[in-house]
């Protein structure tokens, strides 16, 4: 898959269903191809079921990016970051959205539907999708994430400061 493809998988639980619909409509209106894994109404569900779907799609490279929403964003972050190759960032301000892309190459954006207002949420989404990864020393740091799956301690430090 082309990492720059305008394709995004999105999922939420009931607590953020309303915001998911708003974000989804915005994405479609702005030319994104959206895979909505649910939930599809406000009946109570378990957020891991939907977090696993989106994180799985991103982890396997089926989608380059994902967006997850729950009440606080915390539960979805915890679930998503258990998946290999997933770097999920919970962002409730524009600076976090910007830096999670520039420095962390976040591939899943997480939002709390009970935390942010609709207008701020859409600005966070826009900023996150439009911001590129800076690479360089930041890539070297991300490479160290693989030490975790290899069972290494990752303590040696060879990257430049800054
Ligand atoms: C659901 O009540 C709530 O716990 C969930 O949306 C989320 O905030 C969990 O982290």
Share of the chain above pLDDT 70, in %: 91
CB of 76 closer than 8 Å to CB of 68 = yes
pLDDT digits (tens, 9 = 90+) for 2-44: 656 899 999 999 999 999 999 999 999 999 999 999 999 999 9
- Tell me what the pLDDT averaged over the chain comes to: 94
* Catalytically annotated residues: 70, 103
The model scores a pTM over 0.85: yes
Q: Whose CA is nearest to atom 8 of ligand 1?
A: 71
Tokens 């890539």 sit on residue: 139
Residue to mutate (ligand 1; options 11, 12, 13, 78; most atoms within 8 A of CB): 13
| Domain 7-149 fold | Ribose 5-phosphate Isomerase B; Chain: A, (3.40.1400)
Q: Whose CA is nearest to atom 9 of ligand 1?
A: 75
pLDDT digits (tens, 9 = 90+) for 121-137: 999 999 999 999 999 99
Give 19 Cα–ligand 1 centroid separation in angstroms.
Answer: 14
Of 61, 62, 101, 107, the residue nearest 81 (C-alpha) = 107
pLDDT digits (tens, 9 = 90+) for 52-65: 999 999 999 999 99
pLDDT for residue 70: 98
CB of 16 closer than 8 Å to CB of 75 = no
DSSP symbol at 15: G
């Amino acid at each position: 898959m082309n990492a720059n493809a305008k394709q995004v998988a999105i999922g939420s639980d009931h607590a953020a269903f309303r915001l998911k619909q708003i974000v989804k409509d915005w994405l479609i209106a702005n030319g994104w191809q959206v895979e909505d894994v649910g939930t599809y109404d406000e009946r109570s569900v378990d957020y891991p079921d939907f977090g696993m779907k989106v994180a799985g799609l991103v982890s396997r490279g089926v989608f380059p990016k994902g967006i997850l929403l729950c009440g606080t964003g915390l539960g979805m972050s915890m679930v998503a970051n258990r998946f290999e190759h997933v770097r999920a960032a919970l962002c409730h301000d524009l600076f976090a959205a910007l830096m999670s892309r520039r420095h962390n190459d976040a591939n899943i954006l997480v939002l709390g539907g009970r935390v942010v207002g609709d207008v701020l949420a859409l600005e966070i989404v826009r900023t996150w999708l439009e911001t590129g990864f800076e690479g360089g020393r930041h890539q070297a740091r991300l490479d160290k994430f693989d030490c975790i799956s290899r069972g290494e301690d990752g303590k040696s430090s060879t990257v430049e400061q800054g």
